[in-house]
Structures are given as C-alpha cells and as structure tokens.
Amino acid sequence: MKKAILGSCDIEVSRLGMGVMPIGPNQLSLPLDEGAAIVRYALEAGIDFLDTAQYYHTYPYIREALRGGRLRPVISSKSLAPDRKGMEQAIEEARLALDLDVIDIFLLHEVRSGDFALRIGAWEALQEARARGVVRAIGVSTHNVDVTAAMAEEDECDVVFPLINYAGLGIRNGSGAGTAAEMLTAIEACHAAGKGVYAMKVFGGGNLTVSYQQALDFVSAQACIDALMIGFGSQADVDDALSYIEGRMPAGYNPDVSRKKMIVEQTNCEGCGTCMSMCESEALFFNKNGLAQIDESRCLTCGYCAPVCPSRAIILY
C-alpha cells in the first residue's frame, strides 16, 4: 500500500483510507462483529487510516477490530461540538470508547460558512488537547470552498478534510453552490501552506459509483491531495478499492450498483425541500420530523435529487 505524509505533520498514512460511517447506525447498522470484521479486513489488507466521528456512533466497531493490539491504524475523528466544553467531552469520549490514550487526528466536523468563528471555543479546546498530547493533529472537515481556503491561512490548522469529486456534487461556496475547480484551488492553497489534505466524498455520496474509475482517477491525480477516504460497507467494497489503488482493476470495470438505493441521511437533512422539486416520481416526502424521506416504491434511483441537496444528505448506498 502506498503511503503519504499528511502535510507538515509527522503522521504517515496509507494513501487509501476507510470511512467507517457506512457500517454504523446512520447507514447499514451492521451487527458489531460483522462491522468490526470489515474494519479488520481493511486493516489487514494494508489500509491503516480510519475516519470516524462522534455522531457516527462507530467507535465500538473500531475498538472491537483493534482488540488484541496487533493493529494500530491512524484514526481521525471529529465532533460537531459548538463550544469548548462540548469538544473537551467529545475528545474524552473518543479516548474512552476507543481505549486509546491518544487520538491521532481530531477535527471540527462539517464546518460551514461562518461557523469557524462561532465555534472558536471548540477550536481552542482542540489546540489545548494537542498541547497536552492527547491529540496529535487538529483541523476541520468541510464541504465548503471558502472554509477550505480560510484554513490555508489558519496557522493552528494541521489538516483539512474537504469534499471533492469530479462532478462537484455537494460542494458549497458561501451560501451557494461551489465547483470542483474552486475547491481544488482552495485545496492547493492548503497544500502549499503545509496542511495535510485527505479527501472525502470522491463518489459524491455514492452517486458517482457508476463512474467508479473516473471518480478515483480525478482525485488520485491531484498532487495536492495526500490521501483519499472511501466509505466501506462490505469486504467487496474494500476489494474494489484495493484493486484500483494497486493497479489491478480491469479497464471499464464498475462495481455492481443494482442493489443500491437512494437514502436521506437524517442527521444531515435540513428539511428545505429542494430535493422534492427535482423528483418527477414524487418519491420524496416530509416525514413526521419535518425531514426528507424517500418512498422506495416510487424511487427510480435516477440521482437527480442528490446534486441539488445543499447539505449533501442524499446518498446512493
């Protein structure tokens, strides 16, 4: 497995990382042993970089996968905590739940336009955790071009975890849509400033899986991106990614997506209804919580709803 150093950090990771969210309750809700087996399978195959988060509720899977102490991947976690106390609690929760003294990377989760200043207490808590040695590196995860660009100028930021894919799905810039080209410019600025950069949503929330190699070719070709994080929900997902990254994937191959379906991540949905205006099948409706939900009996999995979602809540999985 090819390795990369995250910017100026003394943290080496496999170029391919595993996003752990799909196995957890927000998506597949796999039994503990089954989900942990997928994590362990990826680790034993040479993938030593894991992404998780407080609200993914996937710490138990990782802890179970690491049981026995043979494997010790680089772990990146993050929290939506808005203030100092919340972030301090999130860091301690991760340390206890993962049975680790030190978390390699901890981020402000999903920073949107204007959020960074509002969450300055949480940011200070991350700096203090790094100074105490319980966190090795800090940074932000974001879908926003403007936030990514701002991190290039933030001296205390070690790493950035931005959303990037060739179609620009889910990219925001200020209060409007952003483009892949704009995001790449911001990422290049971060890279030039010595920030470590690892990419998320290279398949646009699963909607670009039908163009699997094109999606990976685009992100892999960017010298300003140190590593890419892919969500795995099965051993077959791991095998596909490894086949690509190791140069063994046949030309023209795409994974079978015939059994995948569109879902709305309830934790990300803002209840704006924009997706409904794009669905000619009338498969989207407001559930009892005022959030978008999909009627599978009507859904054609055309994917037209996903690009217009301002919070990247609609995925194909």
Q: Could you report the per-residue pLDDT of 72-85, keeping only the tens digit for each?
A: 999 999 999 999 99
Question: How sure is the predictor about 169, in pLDDT bands with cuts at 50, 70 and 90?
Answer: confident
* Confidence (pTM): 0.88
What is the pLDDT of the chain when averaged over all its residues? 93
Give pLDDT tens digits for 280-297: 678 899 999 999 999 988
User: Domain 3-245 carries which CATH code?
Assistant: 3.20.20.100
Overall average pLDDT of the 273-280 stretch: 88
Q: Where are the domains of the chain?
A: 3-245, 262-316
Find the distance separating the first CA and the last CA of the chain, reported in whole Å.
26
Nearest-angstrom CA–CA distance, 96 and 109 = 19
How many C-beta neighbours within 10 Å does residue 155 have?
6
Q: Which two tokens stand for residue 56?
A: 């993914």
What 3-state class would DSSP assign to 263?
Answer: strand
Q: Is 313 exposed, middle or buried (0-12, 13-18, 19+ CB in 10 A)?
A: buried
Pick the CATH number of 262-316 from 3.40.605.10, 3.30.70.20, 3.30.460.80, 3.30.365.10: 3.30.70.20
- Dump pLDDT digits (tens) for 53-64: 998 899 999 999
